[in-house]
A and B are shown apart, each in its own frame.
Chain A
Amino acid sequence: MPVTFTFGEWFSARTIIGQTLADLGDEYPNLWTVTPDIGMTLVEFREKFPDRFIDVGLAEQAAVGVAAGLAYEGNIPVVSGMLPFLSMRTVEQIRSDVCYPNLPVKIIGTHGGLVGNGGSTHYAVEDLSLMCSLTNMTVTSIGDPLMVGDILRQSMKMAGPIYIRLGVGKSDQAIYEPGTHDIKIGKGIVAREGSDVTLFAHGTTVAQALEAADALEKDGHSVRVIDMFTLKPIDADLIEKCAKETGGRFVVVEDHLAYGGLASRIADVIVDRGINLTAFKRLGIPQVFAGFGNDEELRDKHGYGLSATIDAVKAVIGAKA
């Protein structure tokens, strides 16, 4: 059943995922869901299609291996779980069982970034770096809870694997008014127009980037915000365009290690294409085990919260050409 929504309203991405999968299960009789004991998102699917649901218990490697076996047989498996475990404990299964034969397995999960206050065992902060290094893998990080349904739907047509990253996913504000943005895997979203500087973000930092842009506008700064929700393949043309149109001034803010995530991927494009920049600043998690605290406190403590973002953008705007 279609989800009704209003811009700015709060939604549970997990509920959207559950509803979307339950819908897609009708459309795709070969759609399966697999989980290592993180099945609450999948209740609706499980009840509707009990013969296409597998909970292997606390056994992430088996979850991905089983998904590969299903996919070899022409099925489309979605593995749902917590990303700190799904991205690391199973990284070899993802690489050798899924990516090597290029199977249409979808890995979707929560706890990407310093979110949920579970401590460093429960924060996926290296995941995008790991996943982006895998051949055949498409890598996404979603901030808008409604958008995750679109991405799942689009991914059904893909021949190979995809990684879909969320924050906690229990309650997030809708960012995009439906129908107003072209949301396509592999294409960055211009979340906000601007001409002085481009602020790149993905996932949980998109809302923060928009808030920073609003605050900066009051000081007369025009900040473009790009939701680079697909990290791989990266939208290199958009990066080049933004460099030209915003004076070669870039700031990247992400809930991932500052080195190895989106900032690194953008830096690769800049170097490979020989793009001239005036200033480039990256904000993200430093190479530390982050400790406990709520999401906002942790971002502030580790230097990529709202005020740090505003400061970084100001500094980049002020940089001499």
Chain B
Amino acid sequence: MAGSTLVNDGQRHSVAELEDLAFELRSKLLYLCGTYEGAVHIGGDLSVADILTALYHYELNVDPKNIANPGRDRFILSKGHAAVCMYIAMAMRGFFEFDDIVNTYGQLDSAFGMHPCKVQLAGVEASTGSLGHGLPIGVGMAKSARQRNESHRVFVLMGDGETGEGSVWEGAMAARSSELGNLVAIIDRNRQLMTSHAEERVALEPYPDKWAAFGWNVVMVDGHDMASLVTALDGLPPASSNRPTVLICETIKGKGVDFMERNLAWHAGSLGQEDLAKAMASLESTRASKGSK
């Protein structure tokens, strides 16, 4: 991106390549969900799989060989329960091996746990897990970048349910007040909380208007359409601009696996061998039907 001191060399994949990578990411997610004996937040992982693919394989200027490069873009997974999806995306980007995750996930002394910890896993930008914390942290990082005349961006990925936390809106106000055009919030608008569907218990609509009312530049995105994601990322205002941007990505919880999609039972879970085969078959057929469109 403009003015960045770290160039995303050779990692800016085409839409077709990104779609393949997203498929690979989902396959690996399901594999982990089948091998790990405990529950994985598979629903919310699948809803951000395309977003994380677009970030790690197209947008983010990061350097797995020099993870502390000051010119890197910062990415905060505010919905920390999607850590597995981020770990796999990072592994595919070269931060570590996929096997490192599979062999140790959730085990004693593993760097890979249910929610990401910066101290335990290098390359993670912020320790998260409790919802509503990422945006204020992102504001601090973006302010620091501004003060040092650094041109990278700070991205914060949140769930839509997460934005029920008041601290998100405290952060939204602070970002607007500080004119942080280098801050990008990404909303996984999957329209599901853990125990209810959109608007059943919590009225989030008119959702884009809420962000607009807080002074943010609001962009609507199809969060499962790679071309739409790439267009939105390409269209980000310069980091030097003075309004923060929110990409509201319309998504489906459980996306890609028919029996998980929009199913409250699959907020988190684990897959037996039979279910894993069914899930993989569903993923394959989703891909096939997309290819034939």
Contact with A along B168-179 (1 / 0, CB 8 A): 001101100110
Report A79-123 residues with CB < 8 Å from chain B CB: 92-93, 96-97, 100-102
Tell whether A61 pairs with B136 under 8 Å between CB atoms, given A56-B170, A101-B119. Answer: yes
Could you say which of A59, A61, A73 contacts B140, with CB atoms under 8 Å apart? Answer: A73
The smallest C-beta distance from A272 to any residue of chain B, in angstroms, reads: 28
Q: In this assembly, does A306 line the interface, its C-beta being within 8 Å of a C-beta of chain B?
A: no
Q: In this assembly, does B106 line the interface, its C-beta being within 8 Å of a C-beta of chain A?
A: no
Which of B91-99, B141-149, B191-199, B255-263 faces chain A?
Answer: B141-149
Which of B7-15, B126-134, B225-233, B238-246 faces chain A?
Answer: B126-134
Tell whether A62 pairs with B130 under 8 Å between CB atoms, given A70-B140, A73-B140. Answer: no
Could you say which of A52, A62, A71 contacts B147, with CB atoms under 8 Å apart? Answer: A52
Q: What is the predominant secondary structure among interface residues of chain B facing chain A?
A: helix
Report B179-226 residues with CB < 8 Å from chain A CB: none
Could you say which of B117, B126, B167, B174 contacts A72, with CB atoms under 8 Å apart? Answer: B126
Q: In this assembly, does A291 line the interface, its C-beta being within 8 Å of a C-beta of chain B?
A: no
Q: In this assembly, does A69 line the interface, its C-beta being within 8 Å of a C-beta of chain B?
A: yes
Q: How far is the CA of A57 from the CA of B173 in the complex (A)?
A: 9
Q: In this assembly, does B137 line the interface, its C-beta being within 8 Å of a C-beta of chain A?
A: yes
Which residues in B have their C-beta under 8 angstroms from that of A54? 143, 174, 178
The smallest C-beta distance from B256 to any residue of chain A, in angstroms, reads: 31
Q: In this assembly, does A66 line the interface, its C-beta being within 8 Å of a C-beta of chain B?
A: yes
Could you say which of B129, B137, B147 contacts A68, with CB atoms under 8 Å apart? Answer: B137
Which residues in B have their C-beta under 8 angstroms from that of A74? 144
| Structural contact, B127 and A70, CB atoms closer than 8 A | no
Q: In this assembly, does A141 line the interface, its C-beta being within 8 Å of a C-beta of chain B?
A: no
The smallest C-beta distance from B103 to any residue of chain A, in angstroms, reads: 25
Contact with B along A129-172 (1 / 0, CB 8 A): 00000000000000000000000000000000000000000000
| Structural contact, B137 and A66, CB atoms closer than 8 A | yes
The smallest C-beta distance from A299 to any residue of chain B, in angstroms, reads: 35
Q: In this assembly, does A51 line the interface, its C-beta being within 8 Å of a C-beta of chain B?
A: yes
Could you say which of A56, A64, A75, A96 contacts B173, with CB atoms under 8 Å apart? Answer: A56
Which B-chain residue is minimally distant from A54 (CB atoms)? B143
The smallest C-beta distance from B247 to any residue of chain A, in angstroms, reads: 20
| Structural contact, B140 and A67, CB atoms closer than 8 A | yes
Could you say which of B119, B138, B170 contacts A69, with CB atoms under 8 Å apart? Answer: B138
Tell whether A69 pairs with B139 under 8 Å between CB atoms, given A57-B173, A92-B130, A97-B133. Answer: yes
Tell whether A65 pairs with B171 under 8 Å between CB atoms, given A70-B144, A72-B140. Answer: yes
The smallest C-beta distance from A114 to any residue of chain B, in angstroms, reads: 29
Q: In this assembly, does B284 line the interface, its C-beta being within 8 Å of a C-beta of chain A?
A: no
| Structural contact, A65 and B133, CB atoms closer than 8 A | yes
| Structural contact, A68 and B173, CB atoms closer than 8 A | no
Tell whether A59 pairs with B173 under 8 Å between CB atoms, given A52-B147, A73-B145, A102-B119. Answer: yes
Which B-chain residue is minimally distant from A93 (CB atoms)? B133
| Structural contact, B144 and A75, CB atoms closer than 8 A | yes
Q: In this assembly, does B118 line the interface, its C-beta being within 8 Å of a C-beta of chain A?
A: yes
| Structural contact, A56 and B140, CB atoms closer than 8 A | no
Which residues in B have their C-beta under 8 angstroms from that of A59? 170, 173-174
Which B-chain residue is minimally distant from A95 (CB atoms)? B130
Could you say which of A70, A101, A102 contacts B143, with CB atoms under 8 Å apart? Answer: A70
The smallest C-beta distance from B111 to any residue of chain A, in angstroms, reads: 14
| Structural contact, B178 and A97, CB atoms closer than 8 A | no
Could you say which of B127, B132, B136 contacts A101, with CB atoms under 8 Å apart? Answer: B127
| Structural contact, B127 and A65, CB atoms closer than 8 A | no
Which residues in A have their C-beta under 8 angstroms from that of B174? 54, 56-57, 59, 62, 66
Which residues in A have their C-beta under 8 angstroms from that of B18? none
Interface centre among B137, B141, B178 (most CB of A within 10 A): B137
Interface centre among B119, B140, B147, B170 (most CB of A within 10 A): B140
| Structural contact, A57 and B136, CB atoms closer than 8 A | no
Q: How far is the CA of A59 from the CA of B176 in the complex (A)?
A: 14
Ordered by A's residue number, 19 sampled pairs between the chains whose C-beta atoms are within 8 Å are: A51-B147, A61-B132, A61-B167, A62-B139, A64-B136, A65-B133, A66-B143, A68-B137, A68-B140, A69-B139, A69-B140, A70-B143, A72-B141, A73-B140, A96-B127, A97-B136, A101-B118, A101-B119, A101-B126
Residues of A that sit less than 8 Å from B by CB: 51-52, 54, 56-57, 59, 61-62, 64-75, 77, 92-93, 96-97, 100-102
Given pairs A70-B143, A74-B144, 9 additional interface contacts (CB within 8 A): A56-B170, A62-B139, A62-B167, A66-B140, A69-B144, A72-B118, A73-B145, A97-B137, A101-B126
Report the 8 A-B pairs with minimum CB-CB distance, sorted nearest first: A69-B140, A65-B136, A62-B170, A59-B170, A73-B144, A66-B140, A69-B137, A61-B167
